[in-house]
Amino acid sequence: LLSFSHMNRRAFIFWASVALLWANLPYLIGYASSTTQNRFGGFFLYEQDGNSYLAKMRQGAQGEWNFHLPYTSEDQYQSGGFVYPFYLILGKLEALGLNDRVLYHTTRILSSILLLIVLSRFITRFISDGRWQLWTWWLLLFSGGWGLLISYLIDPKYVAYELIAPDGFIFSILYGPPHVILGFALLLMWIGYTFDSFQAVRSRWPQRILIANLIGGAATLSREAYGAVFVGILGVFVIARSIRQRKILWHELILVVLSSIAAIGYLVYLFIALQTIPGLNIWYQQNPFGSPNLIDFLLGFAPLLIIGIIGLVALRRDSSLVTHHSSLIVPWFIAGPIMAYLPISISRRLIAGWQIPLCIFGAYALMKLWQSKRVIAIALALTVLPTTFLLIAGGSAIVAAQPPTLFQSSNELAALNWLSHNTTDRDVVLSDWRFGNLVPIYSNARVFIGHPIETAFFKDKEADVTHFFDPTTSDFDRYAFLLKWHVTLIAVGPPESIGLEWDAQNIAFRRGAYSIYRFSP
């Protein structure tokens, strides 16, 4: 922030604080309304993924360095690998006596502050004019697309691009999980540091390449797709410069490759591990990250695209306000959509950071319109706000209603705590998948079903669970099912409609609507 004038610095801090508070409002409401009888689980969106991160932290706290599927019970899928190292390492800090959710959210907030500092500094690489910097800052923090408008006004089942590809928007990153926040901050540091190396004297390249690999390796360990994002952005930049100069810029190309060795090495390991380790392979097959269709993409970026194109056209007539780093912006603008639609499984994550060139161009348009056509500038600025408003306002309203998917009752917590003290990793728990989603946070027991991605053959197992708890299912069928899947414990809560009286003599825990039965063949 020292790069800005005193006035700009205060404005940057003000808007950063507003964005940070707004992005975390649902969390604040959740914890403020939490009681011992109904405790907030710590998440307001994609809570099943948030719980899975806590389960990974638990694996790390127990000394693991290899991630294995906590939501799949079969022995053949218990093999693991060095995946999700961010949470395995974060979990080891629980040894300091920190609660897992306190540690998770503290890391989120600290990573967010780091990202905002890095991002504010990153802007000054490309723009010298203070007003333009502020407009860019505001757009980066609060802009989104129109996908959520479709969800709210036309089709509630429509999944907005902003939710499918949160890496594409700074605000979506700010309310998201800490590994994405920290990974994105490191990605920007990595890009900026390597770009500076292009102008560094050759004698300092070995030192700078080493530092770039340390930053890039950490970024890729936090968010594996960011290694590919780095190579794509700077690769297109070098290609564009080579075309303009009509010769291949080998030194710059080699510098990009050498600065990516650590990241590429980890990506190669991941590729091999995901193909050869059964547990990771089944998870990978169920976890595609391909981009949605082009209409979804255009709706997601529609307002920024419109404003950005206006700014790009206007900017061609005025280059006095840019810096020498700005030569990266147009190649980045071109590289984003290309990477987002590459025929690879992680393509939708490769749109990360594309909002930056869009907002730089769009901010220029808004700045110019503000000087002469203020009403139009305000109208255009308002078009980028629906996602930010609807997501947080909607999320806050949902959290305030305290739905059972986001809050755990004292009875449910008692059942989970019983499992934590009375099970081993040889136990298999059968339950509704949402209860199963919580079990690995508290217990070493495996669950038959607990996560749409990390449970092998989730759809088939979901149908099996529905059949098992159907009151019309015969005891013989239930018994055969339990034997087939080596189930040792059955957890029954409000979602299930039977009391399993057929095995009532083996009840091990009961409190309120929650019961746990032991099964012995």
Average pLDDT over residues 75-93: 94
pLDDT at residue 241 in the model? 87
pLDDT at residue 1 in the model? 45
Side chain identity at residue 89, one-letter code: I
> Nearest to residue 71, comparing CAs of 46, 88, 54, 85?
54
pLDDT at residue 471 in the model? 84
Residue 289 pLDDT > 50, yes or no? yes
CB of 137 closer than 8 Å to CB of 120:
yes
* Percent of the chain residues topping a pLDDT of 90: 71
Average pLDDT over residues 280-296: 84
Q: Which of 96-105, 122-131, 255-264, 267-276 has the lowest average pLDDT? A: 122-131
Average pLDDT over residues 493-509: 66
- Decide: residue 231, CB within 10 A, 0-12 exposed, 13-18 middle, 19+ buried: buried
Residue 3 pLDDT > 70, yes or no? no
Residue 322 pLDDT > 60, yes or no? no
The more confident residue out of 327 and 91 is 91
- Report the first-to-last Cα separation within the chain, whole angstroms: 66
φ, ψ for residue 517, nearest 5 deg: -115, 140
pLDDT at residue 143 in the model? 95
Q: How crowded is the C-beta side of 424, counted as CA atoms within 13 Å? A: 1
Residue 501 pLDDT > 60, yes or no? no
- Which structure tokens are listed for 457? 């053959």
- Which structure tokens are listed for 258? 């050498």
CA dist list (Å): 35 to 44, 360, 407, 415: 17, 45, 10, 17
φ, ψ for residue 409, nearest 5 deg: -75, 165
CA dist list (Å): 371 to 212, 364, 374, 376: 41, 11, 7, 11
The more confident residue out of 204 and 59 is 59
pLDDT at residue 2 in the model? 45
Residue 498 pLDDT > 70, yes or no? no
CB of 449 closer than 8 Å to CB of 71:
yes
The more confident residue out of 506 and 259 is 259
pLDDT at residue 290 in the model? 73
Residue 6 pLDDT > 80, yes or no? no
Residue 503 pLDDT > 80, yes or no? no
> Nearest to residue 57, comparing CAs of 106, 21, 30, 90?
90
> Could you tell me the pLDDT band of residue 280, with boundaries at 50, 70 and 90?
very high
Beta bridge partners of 322: 127
- Tens of pLDDT, residue by residue over 416-434, are 999 999 999 999 999 999 9
Parallel, antiparallel or unpaired: strands 428-430 and 446-447:
parallel
Residue 502 pLDDT > 70, yes or no? no
Between CA 160 and CA 225 the distance in angstroms is: 21
φ, ψ for residue 490, nearest 5 deg: -120, 120
Average pLDDT over residues 462-472: 91
- Where would I find the H helices in 67-99? 85-92
User: Residues with Cβ < 8 Å from 296, sequence gap 6 or more?
Assistant: 147, 160, 161, 164
Between CA 11 and CA 237 the distance in angstroms is: 32
- Tens of pLDDT, residue by residue over 157-181, are 888 888 888 899 999 999 999 999 9
User: Residues with Cβ < 8 Å from 11, sequence gap 6 or more?
Assistant: 134, 137
CA dist list (Å): 471 to 1, 317, 335, 486, 504: 63, 73, 55, 22, 15
By 3-state DSSP, what share of the chain in percent is helix, strand and coil, each rounded to 5?
65, 5, 30
* Mean pLDDT score across all residues of the chain: 90
- Tens of pLDDT, residue by residue over 10-45, are 889 999 999 999 999 999 999 999 999 999 999 999
CB of 316 closer than 8 Å to CB of 368:
no
pLDDT at residue 210 in the model? 96
